[in-house]
Chain A
Amino acid sequence: MKAFTQLKGLVAPMDRANVDTDLIIPKQFLKSIKRSGFGPNLFDELRYLDEGQPGEDCSKRPLNPDFPLNFDRYQGASVLLARENFGCGSSREHAPWALEDYGFRCIIAPSYADIFFNNCFKNGVLPVVLDAQVVDELFTDMYAQEGYSLEINLQAQTITTPTGKVIGFEVDAFRKNCLLNGLDDIGITLQSADSIRSYQQKLRESSPWLFDVVQ
């Protein structure tokens, strides 16, 4: 996994609550057996005026001129500012894959759906939770100033605004460590392989019906 340490990036808006994973990446693109290449179809139904098909060359499709990510001022954005309950709906990891492939490495929102939140950390994308009021202020400032950028420091757990204001955020210690170091958590879990084996042995003795049935 790509490590995440610090980022200074242009901020783009996704200014609506309850953005679901179908909206982030529609189902037809889930047919891919690859992990990459989802960026051009991020927010597909909002971004384009036509219905997207997998494998299509998106550079020839009609863009929705009213969708902010199509505005000149947000080109190259790497921080997505969003609203409550971002990423609700399905467990598709294609959602963070699409965000990451597009170029977003950090999302800032008042709240997230649990599965999406978890999936982000597995893909080098940092989902930051801030108070709804703070997010609201960031929206106001971002709309007011073209080229609005934020500086995110994961080690220090801070976001610095263009005026130098520093906003702190919480992140769980395990996820922070994995993200900072780009750690593969399968490797970490396998360090406990002996504990898993011994748990499993006890389980086999206490609940034999859980073993050797589906084979």
Chain B
Amino acid sequence: MAGKTLYDKLWDNHLVEQRDDGTAIIYIDRHLIHEVTSPQAFEGLRLAGRQPWRLDANLAVPDHNVPTESEERKGGVAGIVDPISRLQVQTLDDNCDAFNIVEIPINDIRQGIVHVVGPEQGATLPGMTVVCGDSHTSTHGALGALAHGIGTSEVEHVLATQCLIQKKMKNLLIRIDGTLQDGVSAKDVALAVIGTIGTAGGTGYAIEFGGDVIRAMSMEGRMTMCNMSIEAGARMGMVAVDDTTLEYVKGRPYAPTAQQWEQAVATWRELHTDDDAEFDRVVTLRAEDIKPQVTWGTSPEMVLPVDGVIPDPEKIEDAGRAQATRRALEYMGLKPGMAITDIRPDRVFIGSCTNSRIEDLREAAAQIRGRKVAQGIKQVLVVPGSGQVKAQAEAEGLDRVFIEAGMEWREPGCSMCLAMNADKLGPGEHCASTSNRNFEGRQGFGGRTHLVSPAMAAAAAIAGHFTDIRQCAEGQS
């Protein structure tokens, strides 16, 4: 019999009941909750007279709506200016109180983006099934967990039953071997993968990321990779457990200690794909081929290396793709043949569940140190992923680097990744953004998003246009 993939193992470990119709009841170890996709689920519980199945499996934190300006933030929930946002955050507080669910509230130092907070607190651990009413829950797969986003009906289902009804996905291995060039980060690798397989390339699959590059990558980088799985169409992405994983988890507030730690580690060491396991599909990329990436269109698959030029729809044979390219260029206000490095962002956003961890901020700061934001850039927002990331960055003096360059150092939250709070683009504005989606209107009505790595976003803020940071690195040395 062939061996098992990491996904097979995680699935089998959580199988409560396999049914004849091909569906299965899968047990959920950790349910993360935020304010946007939970109110209707709690209301559903109330209407049906149900209680949460297991309180200690849940952890809530507000992130999408929270203001990131320190003045507005000082007033806590009551201080949120937008009354509709305030009500949504207040509703999360009320529901957590009413159902006795642990919540990290708005101005707790541990508060932040749910996908940054979970791993940081040790609330997500290797081997867990992790769900949340947010598609970027795939992030947690970096720890060797089976983690994916769910809709609000399933949020209610997990609250009420601690389980989900699932069908098993197919196995897709994305393998990146070799050594990345200097200046190329996890975000570039993720975008290059999406550029290769497309935004629907992973639909129906669970992705495992493997190869030399992933093994050498930090946990922050792995989280960035798994985070972007959903932009490749896969609900879940994951990475095998190794020493890097264990070192990251050890000592986290909710992680096991002493004898339980030893016991857990023994179990977690099994969380890798067996040598003789077979994948339904394998995609390989060579690390040396990956350059810094910049999206030019309105889907993450519309991406090019930084030395590329905007495509010409007249030269695309497939009618559907030509039409999509034409529409994207019109929305983005870009012309075929234009160099990526000639695009001039109006604003820069460094943050989001994709790229707001300490390593991301360090990489951004390294591009900025001692320099100033270019004229013509209206605003640069640097939004740490959690209060703890913020504190760590401040201890390292990164906040000073950003502020002295003329950037805004904000309070943690989702911010301009999806612009549910006050942080947004104006119509027609271009943004160099470290977030995950360049959809029409995503960062504000009529806004034009270019997805990039933290270092590329920072370099664009300094240069006033996209630049090939590999050349900057050479220039400095």
Binding site for B on A (CB under 8 A): 16-18, 20, 22-23, 26-28, 30-35, 45, 51, 54-55, 83-85, 88-93, 96, 111-115, 118-119, 122-123, 172-174, 184-186, 188-190, 192-193, 195-196, 199-200, 203, 206-215
Contact = CB atoms under 8 A, between A and B. Distances in A.
B439 A89 contact: yes
B157 A189 contact: yes
Contacts of A54: 84
Given A92-B151, A199-B27, A209-B260, 13 more contacts: A31-B84, A45-B440, A51-B446, A89-B439, A91-B135, A115-B151, A186-B48, A186-B160, A186-B161, A188-B165, A189-B161, A209-B256, A215-B55
A35 B37 contact: no
23 contacts: A17-B324, A22-B441, A22-B442, A27-B418, A27-B420, A30-B64, A34-B39, A84-B200, A85-B233, A92-B151, A93-B40, A113-B200, A123-B153, A172-B167, A186-B157, A186-B160, A189-B163, A192-B16, A196-B53, A200-B27, A207-B267, A209-B256, A214-B57
A215 B157 CA distance: 21
B441 A26 contact: yes
B399 interface: no
Q: Which of under 10, 10 to 19, 20 to 34, or 35 or more describes the interface residues of B? A: 35 or more
A17 B21 CA distance: 31
Contacts of B260: 208-209
A90 B267 CA distance: 33
B161 A190 contact: yes
Contacts of A17: 320, 324
Interface of B: 16-17, 19, 21-23, 25, 27, 29, 36-37, 39-40, 43, 48, 50, 53-59, 64-65, 82, 84-85, 87-88, 91, 102, 123, 125, 127-128, 133-135, 137, 148-154, 156-157, 160-163, 165, 167, 199-200, 203-204, 230, 233-235, 254-256, 260-261, 263-264, 267, 299, 320, 323-324, 327, 418-420, 427, 437, 439-442, 445-446
Nearest to A31: B84
A25 B270 CA distance: 42
A188 B17 CA distance: 13
Nearest to B254: A213
A137 to B, nearest CB: 15
Contacts of B59: 214
B133 A91 contact: yes
Contacts of B82: 31
A20 B439 contact: yes
Contacts of A30: 36-37, 64, 420
B57 to A, nearest CB: 8
Contacts of B267: 206-207
Q: Ordered nearest first, which 5 A-B pairs have the shortest CB separation? A: A209-B256, A122-B153, A93-B151, A33-B39, A91-B149
B133 to A, nearest CB: 6
A85 to B, nearest CB: 4
Contacts of A192: 16-17, 25, 163
Contacts of B123: 214
B21 A173 contact: yes
Contacts of A119: 151, 153
Contacts of A212: 56
A30 B420 CA distance: 8
A22 B440 contact: yes
Most buried by B among A45, A113, A172, A209: A209
Contacts of B263: 208-209
B37 A122 contact: no
Contacts of B418: 22, 27
Most buried by A among B91, B128, B261, B442: B442
B191 to A, nearest CB: 16
Given A45-B445, A91-B134, A199-B16, A173 B200 contact: no
Given A27-B420, A33-B40, A196-B163, A22 B149 contact: no
Given A22-B440, A196-B162, A172 B153 contact: no
A35 B43 contact: yes
Contacts of A83: 320
A114 B128 CA distance: 21
Contact of A214 (B200, B254, B439): B254
Contact of B19 (A22, A51, A123, A174): A174
Nearest to B156: A186
Nearest to A184: B48
Contacts of A172: 21-23, 167
Nearest to A15: B323
A185 B21 CA distance: 14
B420 to A, nearest CB: 5
A42 B217 CA distance: 41
Contacts of A111: 200, 203
A38 B236 CA distance: 28
Contacts of A211: 56
Contacts of B264: 207, 209
Contacts of A85: 199-200, 203, 233
A200 B161 contact: no
A155 B308 CA distance: 51
Contacts of A190: 160-161
Contacts of A173: 21-22
A35 to B, nearest CB: 5
A200 B149 contact: no
